Amino acid sequence: MSKVALITPITGQDGSYLAELLLKKGYTVHGIGGNVVQLNAGNAGSNFHDKSSDLHIYAHADISTGTARDLLAIIRPDEVYNLGGTGQSPESSDLGDELFSTGEFSALKVLEAIRVLGLETKTRYYHASPSALCGLVNGIAINEMVSLNIYPSWYASAISDFWAIVNYRETFGLYACSGILFNHESPRRSENFVTRKITRSLANITQGLEKCLHLGNLNALRDWGHARDYVKMQWLMLQQDSPEDFVVATGVQYTVRQFVTFAALELGIKLRFTGKGVEERGIITAIISPVAAALKVGDVVVAVDPRYIRPAEACEVSANPTKARRKLGWAPETSLQDMVIEMVQADLACAKKAARLKLYG
Ligand code: GDP
């Protein structure tokens, strides 16, 4: 009998990578959000239809009249992956919902459904907690202990989810755990996030579709890993003898400016940054590949725009994933440089297609 997993939502970056991983492992996968056509269209590279008999998708519209309990009663999953709290960039217009919503698939509602349906010994629950859960922590390498001393944070619903999981684990003995995932990116990342904004915009600039990449704080330090590596950790967390929370990160930080520099180099552009604060600019000093042949030395392709500088945020995010390494043997497989190459090449292919359409359309 194959294992049965429920992923919600399945449409985003993490849901799509996780679904691919579980289908490969022989699971039957149920996913909430969208349909297979949307999944394939929205997630370059995902290829669900090959194994569609093991994949069942529920559009949001289908479940809006039902409850988490109804769905769990029908599916009776071995594993539930609730990725809804993965976090939304503050540039997103959905921010209000993200911070304060307690939807049908909040941790509390799903855990209560597992309990009431008598699935306590069958169903294991994974919850993606955003690293922003820990609030404005600057310069401290966040591990599982820091996460338990939650600092002031806007992520009200994420905090209530986090403690609901601790309570159901300790009070009712459910197998329930939180993964505190630091920034994880890929070509499937939404453009609200800085990495994808950078790779897409620079690729567009080489093809004459945009002139300049406008960013906020170039000094911000982040710990960026590849989403494909992080979903393996989500799965591993549900395969242990007992449930525990884990920090998932690479342990290595880079600035936004460094990410820009790596992405530009992959496109054949050498950059020099001049000026300070909102006056800072990224100027081309050399073109080293025909990909960027339409540009020239001296072009300003990066500028700081105060609209993207956040009034309150943790500027130096640092994480300590030692526990994941020690207890689960997990380590990220993809370096930042390899991830940048993958993202840039995917965006470059799209930019070239768009440029051709513009020329002949
Ligand atoms: P976050 O760490 O979950 O907020 O992920 P983001 O990708 O949205 O932001 C990562 C860092 O990049 C933050 O410190 C942002 O302030 C910084 N940043 C600088 N410019 C931008 C921008 O134009 N957009 C976004 N989203 N972030 C930016």
Span 40-49, pLDDT tens digits: 544 544 545 4
User: Is 302 part of a structural domain of the chain?
Assistant: yes
Q: Give yes or no: residues 139 and 279 share one domain.
A: no
Interacting residues of 340 by C-beta distance below 8 A, sequence separation 6+: 199, 259, 262, 263, 266
The fraction of the chain above a pLDDT of 90, given in percent, is 65
User: Is 264 part of a structural domain of the chain?
Assistant: yes
Cβ–Cβ < 8 Å for 153, 132: yes
Count of structural domains within the chain: 2
Q: Give yes or no: residues 162 and 45 share one domain.
A: yes
- Between helix 107-116 and helix 68-75 the angle, nearest 10°, is 50
Burial class (CB in 10 A: 0-12, 13-18, 19+), 321: buried
User: Is 135 part of a structural domain of the chain?
Assistant: yes
pTM for the model stands at 0.90
Q: Give yes or no: residues 32 and 170 share one domain.
A: yes
Q: Give yes or no: residues 44 and 161 share one domain.
A: yes
pLDDT tens digits, one per residue of 7-46: 988 988 999 999 999 999 999 999 987 555 455 544 544 5
The fraction of the chain above a pLDDT of 70, given in percent, is 81
Cβ–Cβ < 8 Å for 176, 125: yes
User: Is 249 part of a structural domain of the chain?
Assistant: no
Q: Give yes or no: residues 149 and 216 share one domain.
A: no
Q: Is there an atom of ligand 1 within 6 Å of 89 CB?
A: yes
User: Is 165 part of a structural domain of the chain?
Assistant: yes
Atom of ligand 1 nearest to the CA of 305: 23
Interacting residues of 108 by C-beta distance below 8 A, sequence separation 6+: 102, 160, 161, 164
CA of 194 to the centre of ligand 1 (A): 5
Q: Which residues partner with 141 through β-bridges?
A: 318
pLDDT tens digits, one per residue of 145-195: 655 555 545 567 778 888 899 999 999 999 999 999 999 999 999 999 999
User: Is 328 part of a structural domain of the chain?
Assistant: no
Tell me which residue of 91, 176, 174, 89 sits closest to 127, measured CA to CA: 176
- The CATH number of residue 34's host domain is 3.40.50.720
Atom of ligand 1 nearest to the CA of 193: 7
- The CATH number of residue 277's host domain is 3.90.25.10
Domain that holds residue 141: 4-181
pLDDT tens digits, one per residue of 263-321: 999 999 999 999 999 999 999 999 999 999 999 999 999 999 999 998 877 677 778 99
pLDDT-derived band of residue 86, with 50, 70 and 90 as boundaries?
very low
User: Is 277 part of a structural domain of the chain?
Assistant: yes
pLDDT of 100 strictly over 50: no
pLDDT of 93 strictly over 70: no
pLDDT tens digits, one per residue of 216-251: 999 999 999 999 999 999 999 999 999 999 999 999
Q: Give yes or no: residues 149 and 209 share one domain.
A: no
Atom of ligand 1 nearest to the CA of 214: 23
pLDDT tens digits, one per residue of 129-156: 877 666 556 666 677 765 555 554 556 7
Q: Give yes or no: residues 18 and 165 share one domain.
A: yes
